[in-house]
């Protein structure tokens, strides 16, 4: 797990991001999320749509900004992070595509606020899988799915950094067409 300061909103605490692989309880987690279980105060993002941790940091900073200004589109800052990963304004499509599914085996988890040790302990209790170094997220990225979701299928095959730039741009421009 890595911890990053939220420099624009230091009172919100840092953001903690972890990669878990070999997940065996994705169905249970998804059911609890759908039941609005408030003990799951985390953003669960399917690792197949994450190119780099910077993508998560952009989504998280936008979510914290929107929460601070009272402009959340979803119910809480953590679901807003998942929503912000998507280039579309369709909430259910965003959560379905970028959140976890019953068959997800690798997830990137983000948590706004809290102490790193407490967050890690909570994740160990919650997730049936293996914590993996965040740098390995690209090993789980499905570039075909990323290109499909960001509507990049017709263009040239982009290098990872250029693809990340286009994805971040799409996330930032959401709703500003």
Dist CA 39 CA 107 (whole Å)? 18
Domain count of the fold of the chain: 1
Summarize pLDDT for 49-106 with one digit per residue, the tens. 999 999 999 999 999 999 999 999 999 999 999 999 999 999 999 999 999 999 999 9
Dist CA 131 CA 34 (whole Å)? 24
CA neighbor of 82 nearest in space, from 4, 152, 149: 149
* Residue 29: domain span: 2-172
Whether 135 maps to a domain, the answer reads yes
Whether 177 maps to a domain, the answer reads no
CATH number of the structural domain spanning residue 139: 3.30.2380.10
pTM: 0.92
Residue 41, φ and ψ in degrees, nearest 5: -90, 65
**85: Cβ contacts below 8 Å, ≥ 6 apart:** 45, 49, 50, 55, 56, 59, 94, 98, 171
DSSP structure class, residue 12: G
Dist CA 5 CA 35 (whole Å)? 31
Whether 64 maps to a domain, the answer reads yes
Dist CA 87 CA 28 (whole Å)? 27
Tally: H helices and E strands in the chain: 7, 5
Taking only Cα atoms into account, the Rg of the chain, rounded to an integer number of angstroms, comes to: 15
Summarize pLDDT for 6-53 with one digit per residue, the tens. 988 989 989 999 999 999 999 999 999 888 888 889 999 999 999 999
Whether 88 maps to a domain, the answer reads yes
């Amino acid at each position: 797990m890595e911890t990053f300061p939220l420099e624009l909103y230091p009172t919100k605490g840092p953001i903690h991001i972890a990669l878990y692989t070999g997940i065996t309880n994705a169905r249970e987690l998804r059911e609890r999320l759908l039941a609005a279980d408030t003990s799951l105060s985390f953003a669960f993002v399917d690792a197949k749509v994450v190119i780099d941790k910077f993508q998560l940091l952009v989504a998280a900073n936008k979510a914290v900004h929107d929460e601070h200004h009272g402009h959340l589109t979803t119910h809480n800052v953590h679901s807003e992070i998942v929503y912000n990963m998507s280039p579309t304004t369709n909430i259910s499509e965003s959560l379905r595509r970028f959140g976890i599914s019953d068959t997800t085996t690798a997830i990137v988890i983000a948590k706004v606020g809290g102490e790193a040790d407490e967050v890690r302990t909570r994740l160990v209790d919650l997730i049936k899988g293996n914590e993996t170094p965040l740098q390995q997220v690209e090993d789980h990225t499905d570039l075909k799915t990323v290109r499909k979701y960001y509507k990049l299928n017709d263009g040239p095959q982009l290098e990872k950094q250029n693809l990340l730039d286009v994805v971040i741009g799409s996330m930032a421009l959401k709703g500003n067409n």
